[in-house]
């Protein structure tokens, strides 16, 4: 199943419906891997404070608006994902699912490294208990470990690639 979009606006407008469609595929098909990529949350903004789709001006650069709206987008995305995961739990084979949800980059609302590079990650394994892990890790290491089920100490967990300098640099969050 492939459904590609490069439009954050349409991804937001159809996000709940797209998650419902994904659930229906998972419920009725038996594949080894399901992959979904949504540009949510993402600029330009598209959810109001009630999580209804709304068209906001892409040109609004007011820092208070951007920070507030970005947090609303995160809240709404989490709300929709929570509903999706509740539906997933109704499936008989839910306990067998391995699920990874990861953002591709930080908020990019400031020039602070923690805002540029910190990502949200949720992993569900069959035998895993709920925990909050505050370690600093790269998306590459998280995804690699998820699929290989072993830790690779050669992965650059505290570095990012700076294309302007054409080299990896250490991430300093403090």
Token duo for residue 50: 């009630």
Question: Per residue of the chain (174 residues), what is the pLDDT tens digit?
Answer: 455 556 666 777 888 999 999 999 999 988 888 888 888 887 888 899 999 998 888 788 888 898 899 889 889 999 999 999 999 999 998 888 888 887 766 666 666 666 666 667 777 877 666 677 777 666 777 777 777 766 656 655 567 667 778 887 777 655
126 pairs with which residues across the strands?
A: none
Classified as helix, coil or strand, 170 is strand
Residue among 109, 114, 108, 149 at smallest CA distance from 128: 149
**Tokens 């990019």 correspond to what residue?**
108
What are the boundaries of each domain within the chain? 1-97, 98-174
pTM of model > 0.85:
no
Token duo for residue 149: 């089920």
162 pairs with which residues across the strands?
A: 167
């Amino acid at each position: 199943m492939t459904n590609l979009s490069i439009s954050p606006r349409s991804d937001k407008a159809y996000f709940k419906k797209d998650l419902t469609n994904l659930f229906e595929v998972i419920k009725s098909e038996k594949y080894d891997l399901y992959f979904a990529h949504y540009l949510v949350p993402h600029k330009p903004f598209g959810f109001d404070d009630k999580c209804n789709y709304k068209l906001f001006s892409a040109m609004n650069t007011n820092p208070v608006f951007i920070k507030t709206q970005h947090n609303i987008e995160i809240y709404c995305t989490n709300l929709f994902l929570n509903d999706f995961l509740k539906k997933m739990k109704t499936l008989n084979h839910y306990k067998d699912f391995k699920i990874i949800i990861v953002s591709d980059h930080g908020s990019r609302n400031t020039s602070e490294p923690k805002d540029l590079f910190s990502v949200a990650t949720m992993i569900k394994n069959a035998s895993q208990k709920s925990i909050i892990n505050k370690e600093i890790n790269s998306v590459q290491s998280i995804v690699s470990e998820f699929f290989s089920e072993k830790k690779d100490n050669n992965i650059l967990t505290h570095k990012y690639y700076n294309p302007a300098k054409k080299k990896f640099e250490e991430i300093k969050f403090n």
